């Protein structure tokens, strides 16, 4: 498996250099200095926050846990890695650089952060990419726009991240079925993923019952629920390989009940959305198809009355039950950049009116990677607003009230656009576990 990454990495590096050559030339720079980032201390404390590397840095090298490093790139020259390796006994210093990627770099070891400057370019215009110094926006725009097209190396990293995530999701479901608390489910997920919390691409969302209606619920309740009080389980959790993320959501019912039937129907609808993915589709169109799917669910399971699915979307009722966007780009970041960019200059494509939380408005192309994650929830404040509106008459409120205890449903896969269709990284990963 590692040999495959070793074989794919040189072409990935070639793509990076080509993109930087073009972006630097167009924005008037001779060199790029890309900072991994620094350790940040908690306010009035001597404990650091978990280190998260600059995504521009980890695109070049899979060094995820070592601050004060730099990649220095000059077009036409071998890229340089400035690698921080202090003499320390309070914390373990980073190990020597190793792996399939090291032979592609001129590596300079430094013992202190201040030593890095001696390895920076000494002439010409230098673009700094990282924290603490301003980064030229025209350069970033060009690099961010190009990042939407993933290399095969990047896609393979995300394939592997999906396999880890799928394995850990299986463990989390088993824990749920056994009666575990949210916190215990979280621990089982970490163990199956062989990850610490800091190594995950984002904080695990693990919600039992009503907690599934909180879109970013990360509290991890320690209490075990009695059998008669366990209704549903939503988990949104991913994994990380070489700095590339997976982002997977599944929903489960404790019983073979109507909510289980809803999950099955919702899964089929989500798969229809994925099946529509191909080059040149508009992501906002996919988002609106998700609203139509949710509207059909509301009609099919009798949460609405005296209105059809088209009317549910037209009157905005579907937005009460599906208030977020259908997905986002994914890669070096979970919510990867450039979702609104019309071109490399930074012009943006607006969100559809009435859909302020959509994170991607572009027309998708081969090797774009994004999530497809429709949801349907029973969110207390949104339902309260709906009940006060003119649309309240279309809602079967006794049925809605019966389902508040379930929280909601979300199903999410990571999808790669191919030349003629798509590859579902997540479904393939679950099929292997």
Q: How far is CA 418 from CA 68, 160, 235, 279, 428, in A?
A: 37, 18, 28, 7, 15
pLDDT (tens digit, 9 = 90+) per residue, 66-92?
A: 999 999 999 999 999 999 999 999 999
pLDDT for 2? 56
d(CA 35, CA 135): 11
**pTM, to two decimals:** 0.97
- How many H-runs (helices) and E-runs (strands) does the chain carry? 12, 15
Res 199 pLDDT > 90: yes
pLDDT (tens digit, 9 = 90+) per residue, 388-410?
A: 999 999 999 999 999 999 999 99
What the chain holds in terms of domains, given with CATH numbers, is 2-147 (3.40.350.10), 152-432 (3.90.230.10)
Question: In the predicted model, what is the mean pLDDT of residues 336-357?
Answer: 96
Look up residue 169 and give its two tokens.
């999701």
DSSP of 128-164, one letter per residue? EESTTSPPPHHHHHHHHHHHTS--HHHHHHHHHHHHH
């Amino acid at each position: 498996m590692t040999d495959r990454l070793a074989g794919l990495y040189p072409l990935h590096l070639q793509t990076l250099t080509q993109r930087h050559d073009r972006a630097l030339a167009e924005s008037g720079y001779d060199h790029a200095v890309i900072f991994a980032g620094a350790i940040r201390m908690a306010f009035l404390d001597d404990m650091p926050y978990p280190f998260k590397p600059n995504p521009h840095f980890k695109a070049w090298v899979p060094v995820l846990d070592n601050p004060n490093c730099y990649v220095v790139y000059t077009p036409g020259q071998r890229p340089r890695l400035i690698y921080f390796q202090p003499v320390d006994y309070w914390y373990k210093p980073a190990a020597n650089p190793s792996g399939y990627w090291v032979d592609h770099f001129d590596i300079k070891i430094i013992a202190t952060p201040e030593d890095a400057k001696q390895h920076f370019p000494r002439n010409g215009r230098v673009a700094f990419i990282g924290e603490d110094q301003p980064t030229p926006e025209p350069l970033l725009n060009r690099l961010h726009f190009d990042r939407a097209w993933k290399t095969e190396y990047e896609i393979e990293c995300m394939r592997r991240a999906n396999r880890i995530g799928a394995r850990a999701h299986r463990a989390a479901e088993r824990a749920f079925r056994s009666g575990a608390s949210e916190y215990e489910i979280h621990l089982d997920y970490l163990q199956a993923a062989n990850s610490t919390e800091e190594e995950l691409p984002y904080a695990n969302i693990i919600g039992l019952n009503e907690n599934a209606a909180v879109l970013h619920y990360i509290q991890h309740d320690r209490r075990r629920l009695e059998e008669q009080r366990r209704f549903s389980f939503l988990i949104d959790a991913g994994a990380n390989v070489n700095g590339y993320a997976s982002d997977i959501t599944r929903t489960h019912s404790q019983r073979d009940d109507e909510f289980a039937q809803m999950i099955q129907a919702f899964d089929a609808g989500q798969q229809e959305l994925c099946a529509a993915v191909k080059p040149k589709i508009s992501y906002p169109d996919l988002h609106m198809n998700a609203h139509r799917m949710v509207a059909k669910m509301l009609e099919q399971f009798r949460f609405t009355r005296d209105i059809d699915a088209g009317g549910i979307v037209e009157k905005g009722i579907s937005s009460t039950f599906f208030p977020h966007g259908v997905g986002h780009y994914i890669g070096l970041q979970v919510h990867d950049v450039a979702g609104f960019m019309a071109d490399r200059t930074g012009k943006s494509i607006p969100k559809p009116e009435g859909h302020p939380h959509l994170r991607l408005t572009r027309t998708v192309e081969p090797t774009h990677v994004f999530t497809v994650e429709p949801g349907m929830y029973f969110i207390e404040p949104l339902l309260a607003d709906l009940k006060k509106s003119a649309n309240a008459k279309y809602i079967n409120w006794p049925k809605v009230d019966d389902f508040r205890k379930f929280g909601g449903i979300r199903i999410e896969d990571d999808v790669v656009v191919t030349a003629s269709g798509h590859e579902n990284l997540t479904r393939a990963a679950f099929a292997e576990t």
